[in-house]
């Protein structure tokens, strides 16, 4: 590496392998204010493209905050330019992971690129970032969730811990979607979500006993699938005459949507 050089911000182009796509507005503003007061403490890593143009290797958050702060130049460490595409991705990924700057979905997508584009094994990725193979494998499982759930995770509406119970219901997408809505609208914590996911998985896998009514059990599933929410049928008398139908809803809009479904279709 060469000595620190001040480079015009406009002469630095983004790293095409930057894994980070989202930047928290509040933390960016805080970093911007810090840069206004103290300058850029840690130099940005770049590689030379031409005599006056450079490509960012690592430090996009600092570069963006410097632009917000009105700086025209930033301190940079110029790498020798010998990085290939793998090294660009690797350097950007490792810096972000070490700083915990990536949200779980961005991290998983970066891991997936290392697997797809460069043939890395999960254990190899783990070694490079100082994590276990299981950590990498579990991160990648996030990408099997529906886009709506990945977006909620990226936006902080659910935590990474919430993905565990959701992934337990991968083979049952209707029930997975119901649990997701419960987590959002009921502000369910991870432990509560895991208890419901385990109970659902066990109930759906269990064998019928003479005491159970397979017809009602099947109707529960049909109601839940049709209405897109959790439905329970409770018998009041042992002979099966009478009972109640319990339909979960999570908001007024959700309730009106259920009413619309009941009006327009057979359940």
Distance, CA of 226 to CA of 88 (rounded, Å): 48
- CA 251 to centroid of chain Cα atoms: 24
Cβ atoms < 10 Å from Cβ of 158: 23
Q: Cβ(197)–Cβ(148) under 8 Å? A: no
- DSSP letters for 121-134: -HHHHHHHHT--HH
Q: Cβ(43)–Cβ(73) under 8 Å? A: no
- CA 212 to centroid of chain Cα atoms: 39
| Residue 44, strand partner residues | 76
What φ, ψ does residue 77 adopt, rounded to 5°?
-100, 120
Tell which residue, 176, 231, 223, has the closest CA to residue 201. 176
DSSP 245: E
State the residue for tokens 């006993």.
Answer: 209
Q: Which of 60, 83, 95, 182 is catalytic?
A: 60
Distance, CA of 146 to CA of 149 (rounded, Å): 6
Q: Is 9 helix (H, G, I), strand (E, B) or coil?
A: helix
Sign of CA dihedral 190, 192, 195, 199: negative
Question: Has 60 been annotated as catalytic?
Answer: yes
| Residue 203, both tokens | 């109930």
Distance, CA of 113 to CA of 110 (rounded, Å): 5
Positions marked catalytic:
60
């Amino acid at each position: 590496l060469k000595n620190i050089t001040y480079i015009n911000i406009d002469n630095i182009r983004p790293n095409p392998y930057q894994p980070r796509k989202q930047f928290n507005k509040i933390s960016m503003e805080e970093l911007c204010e810090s840069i206004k007061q103290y300058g850029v403490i840690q130099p940005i890593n770049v590689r030379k493209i031409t005599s006056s143009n450079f490509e960012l290797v690592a430090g996009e958050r600092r570069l963006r905050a410097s632009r917000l702060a009105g700086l025209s130049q930033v301190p940079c460490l110029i790498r020798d330019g010998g990085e290939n595409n793998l090294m660009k991705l690797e350097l950007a990924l490792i810096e972000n992971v070490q700083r915990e700057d990536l949200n779980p979905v961005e991290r998983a997508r970066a891991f997936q690129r290392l697997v797809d584009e460069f043939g890395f094994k999960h254990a190899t990725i783990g070694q490079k970032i100082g994590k276990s193979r299981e950590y990498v494998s579990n991160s990648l499982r996030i990408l099997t969730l529906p886009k709506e759930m990945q977006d909620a995770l990226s936006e902080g509406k659910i935590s990474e811990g919430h993905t565990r119970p959701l992934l337990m219901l991968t083979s049952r997408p209707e029930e997975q979607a119901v649990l997701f809505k419960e987590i959002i609208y009921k502000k369910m914590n991870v432990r509560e979500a895991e208890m419901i996911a385990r109970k659902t998985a066990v109930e759906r896998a269990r064998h019928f006993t003479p005491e159970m009514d397979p017809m009602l059990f099947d109707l529960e599933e049909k109601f839940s699938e049709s209405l897109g929410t959790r439905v329970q049928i409770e018998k009041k008398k042992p002979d099966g005459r009478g009972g109640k139908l319990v339909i979960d809803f999570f908001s007024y809009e959700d309730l009106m949507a259920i009413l619309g479904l009941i009006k327009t279709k057979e359940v």
